[in-house]
Structure 1
Amino acid sequence: MIRIGLTSFNEHQALTGKPRTTLFEYAGFLPLVELDTAYYGLPSRKTVENWLAQVPDSFRFVVKFYSGFTCQEKWQDHYGSITEMKEHFLEVMQPLIESSKIYCFLAQFPAQFKCTKENVAYLQTLRELFPDLPIAIELRDYSWYSPEFKEKTHQFMKRLKFSLAMIDEPELPDTVPLDLTVTNPAFSLFRFHGRNQAYWKSRDAQWRKKRTLYRYSDEELTELAQAIKQVAENSQEVAVIFNNNSGGDAAENALRLRELLDIEDEGLNPSQLGLF
């Protein structure tokens, strides 16, 4: 099964025509969403329960791990131990974990997280912390994909039952490639960031917005659709997340990709036009 969704649910005016979209409304158009809320700070358990209450049974969530787990936040400022942090995370996310609506948790590591013995050991620790969770790993440094380490990266991910996220981003000398290797046949995750070469490495005041300012062409989407079909042959489930929304392009790209893949999503929430 292939599901297509977007990063966040509230900023996609192309879906509803409204500046802000509720999760209930979003789930009338797409069956999948990536939520990055927990990356910045763990939400309350009530918030997680509210997410679940707004979506149908067929809906799925990709939830980004808290940054303390991905070496981007000094967790010691908030927790007495990594075990305490883990227990807080599990307590908050338990309703989602126990439901059928979790697709996976996303551990997105920064470019500074290079292929070293220490970082390989940390990934092992992450799996030991969460032995039963479906986890996708996004690596943002090319060293993991270099000729020296690429095959070892694949084998390591397979051994730990991590799904190595399949990333589409600008092709530059040190960016990660779109690697279609399935490392966990239970599920695969694509993340499409856009191909804005000019601003990908910008670090001015607006860099977060500029780097995903991109609209995929029909030709590019057709190319990506073929990649998705290839992965779907070796994966029980495939999720595709569009993260190219600086200019509001993600939703329209997602809907167009759905057409190209001839997907008819079933069991979505009723849209406003379908209520009467």
Structure 2
Amino acid sequence: MIYIGVTGWGEHESLYAAGTSPRDKLKEYAGHFPIVEVDASFYAIQPKRNVEKWVSDTPESFQFIVKAYQGMTGHQRGEIPFTSKKEMFDAFTLSLEPYQKANKLAMVLFQFPPWYDCKRENVDYLRWCKQQMGDIPVALEFRHQSWFSPQLKDQTLLFMEQEGWIHSICDEPQAGSGSIPLVLHPTNQQKTLVRFHGRNVHGWTKPNEGNWRDVRYLYKYNKKELEEWVDHVQKLNNGSEIIYVLFNNNSGGDAASNAKQFIDMFGIEYRGLAPRQMDFFS
């Protein structure tokens, strides 16, 4: 099975009827795609009332991929309001309960920063993270090239398999040590995650200042690039029961259109989506 969607639901204006309130955008989003990545959880551990609303705003079969809180992955943009890692992880896992009760949690995504390289203390921390998450499905995405260097690639993949990590496979610019190569290898027989970050090499290496995110993810995939990925995803599906695909090339408003194009290439018609709201002039 292949599920295709995008990261976040607030920035994809092509999906919404004119005048749609921000509070209602997820309801409309769920009429187009069966999955979404929750990015808000990266910036702050979400109160249960937020999660309960998102769960109630989506159809029964809808699935969420929840991004791990920034303090859990070492980003720490701003003050971290917890006295210990254990307290932080406990608060985060508690916030997941509404997704779990509704059977809508596909996985939690641990995306580590470009400076998180392959060394003993970081491997130990990954093992500790997995222990803290218990039976919750967790995906692992690296940004430092060392994890997939020729001498460490096989060990990294074996570690992920043994520890039960879902591989987050990325299509991203090849821009030195702060990016990873394409590694088409599932590490979990049930689930694999694919994330499209675009191929904007200049934007990827731009210093993290100002509106750098607006540049980093500015990219539109062409038909040939997506056709190559149709083959990749089909092969991945042979080694993993469910493939979740997320488009993160949001900066120019291209993620939703590329995701829909990708769905059409597979000839998929999702059932159980939310009813779509019609624009006044539709």
Normalised by the size of structure 2, how large is the TM-score? 0.93
Q: Which amino acid aligns with 2:203?
A: Y
State the partner residue of 2:137.
134
**Counterpart of 2:9?**
9
The answer as to whether partners of 2:71 and 2:80 remain within 8 angstroms in 1 is no
Cα separation, 1, equivalents of 2:9 and 2:77:
28
Which residue number in structure 2 is paired with residue 247 of structure 1? 252
Q: Does 1:156 align with 2:184?
A: no
Q: How does 1:216-255 map to 2 (within 5 A)?
A: 216-255=221-260
1:167 matches 2:143: no
Residue 123 of structure 2: which of 116, 120, 123 is its match?
120
2:88 corresponds to which of 85, 96, 99: 85
Structure 1 residue 247: Cα displacement: 0.4
**Conserved 8 A contact 1:68-1:75:** no
Using the TM superposition, give the Cα deviation of residue 149 of structure 1 relative to its aligned residue in structure 2, in angstroms: 0.5
TM-score, structure 1 as length reference:
0.95
Question: Separation in 2 of the partners of 1:69 and 1:98?
Answer: 23
Cα distance in 2 between the residues matched to 1:131 and 1:77:
23
| Aligned ranges 1:1-276 → 2 under 5 Å | 1-18=1-18, 22-73=25-76, 77-174=80-177, 175-203=179-207, 204-273=209-278
Structure 1 unaligned blocks of 5 or more: none
Instruction: Determine the C-alpha separation between the residues in 1 that align with 2:18 and 2:254.
Output: 15
CA distance in 2 between counterparts of 1:99 and 1:106 reads 19
Q: CA deviation at 1:57?
A: 1.1
Q: Distance in 1 between matches of 2:159 and 2:214?
A: 33
Deviation of residue 233 (structure 1)? 1.1
Deviation at 1:206, TM superposition (A): 2.4
Alpha-carbon distance in 2 for matches of 1:244, 1:83: 33
- Please give the alpha-carbon distance, in whole angstroms, between the structure 2 residues aligned to 1:207 and 1:273: 35
Q: How many residues align?
A: 274
In 1, Cα distance between equivalents of 2:104 and 2:169: 21
Return closer, same or farther for 1:68/1:145 CA change in 2, 3 Å cut-off: same
Identical aligned pairs, as a percentage? Answer: 38
More displaced stretch, 179-188 vs 73-82: 73-82
Question: Partner amino acid for 1:201?
Answer: T
> Does the 8 Å CA contact 2:93/2:133 hold for their aligned counterparts?
no
Q: CA deviation at 1:77?
A: 4.4
Whether the 8 Å contact between 2:139 and 2:193 is mirrored in structure 1 is yes
Amino acid at match of 1:199: G
